[in-house]
A = this chain, B = another copy of it.
Amino acid sequence: MARCTIGIDLGGTNIKAGIVDRAGVLLGRTSIPTEARQGFEHVFGRLVGLIETLPGELGVQRRDIAAVGIGTPGPMSHKEGIIYGAPNLPGWVNIPLRDRLSTAIGLPVTLDNDANAAAFGEFTAGAGRDVSDMVMLTLGTGIGGGIVVAGRLLRGFFDNAAEIGHTIMVPDGRPCPCGQRGCFERYASANAVAERLVEAIGAGERSSLGPRVQAGGRITSRDVCTAAQAGDELARRIWDETCRYLAIGCVNVQHMVNPELIVLGGGLIGAGAALLEPVRHHFGQLVWNVSRDAPHIEFATLGDDAGVIGAAALAALDHGGQS
């Protein structure tokens, strides 16, 4: 009996969905606009519709679907199946999504946060598929984290573990929307790279990107990387500092959780070797000399599919499906 699970990556802009078979292979995927502004009931309806039509669309029998897994942004509880709030999903406050969705579609549902789902996707089918202990850092707007210990997600007592982007890296450092100061993600997310460059230019530092910033143009981490490679001194300094902060984050992950592998994912890894090589270099320089056992640092391999595959794999783990 071939049993599959549906994985869903619920974002503020798009809802991505796919079906994964018992061997963990993604059979196909699709994506629809979230239309988040129209509020919870509207998005919920789209979610139900997507789950109902997806099997037919991908040539899978409805009876072969064992369960649905969803990765969601923002504070939530896996244990309770509740979304407490989601910055990009207006009206999603204290929503018992797991049980409501399960009732609506007649299938068991597993809920987890999107960073955990992406980490579990890389663990089952991507960069981590040959290891048992892995930590993933997703470098995007912020820094999402996911920790896999002996093949299982470390969720923590309050379901808030692996919020690695909010570990404090610089005491009394840059303010974070979370209410803390000096969070790791204020120094090493894709957004932080661009923000720090814009701030430095605003403070009078010279850069080839200066005119664009002064004209109000939008700067991305990719612009900073490109300018750094073209020899822009300010961009080079900020890019290198970013890689060094990432390496410090990896040192801290090593000492706290001690995985075999640290996987870097998210938009920032588009920079390729310009990111990975300095991160590895700084890590080697910064980490202790007490033990030579250290995690490998690698890039994620599943790209945008990690969240869908991971959500499906988590549903399979909780409710049967892939073996």
User: Are B171 and A157 neighbours in the complex by a CB distance under 8 Å?
Assistant: no
A233 at the interface (CB under 8 A from B): no
Residue on B nearest A131 in the bound complex, by CB: B157
Smallest CB–CB gap between A128 and chain B, Å?
A: 12
Residue A197 at the chain B interface, CB threshold 8 Å? no
Interface size class of A (residues with CB under 8 A): 35 or more
**CB < 8 Å: which of B149, B161, B252 contacts A258?**
B161
CA distance A119 to B215 in the complex (A): 57
In angstroms, Cα B290 to Cα A147, docked, is: 20
Chain A interface residues toward B at CB < 8 A: 75, 84, 131-133, 147, 149, 154-164, 166-171, 176, 178-181, 244-245, 248, 251-260, 286-291, 293-295
Given A170-B170, A179-B287, 18 other A-B residues pairs in contact with their CB atoms under 8 A: A75-B291, A133-B156, A149-B154, A155-B258, A156-B258, A158-B293, A161-B255, A163-B255, A163-B256, A166-B290, A167-B251, A168-B248, A168-B252, A180-B286, A180-B287, A180-B288, A253-B256, A256-B257
A-B contact pairs, 30 of them (CB 8 A): A75-B291, A133-B156, A147-B256, A149-B149, A157-B259, A157-B295, A158-B291, A158-B294, A160-B255, A160-B258, A160-B293, A161-B258, A163-B258, A166-B290, A167-B252, A168-B248, A168-B251, A169-B171, A170-B170, A171-B248, A176-B288, A178-B288, A178-B289, A179-B288, A179-B290, A180-B286, A180-B288, A181-B286, A253-B256, A257-B257
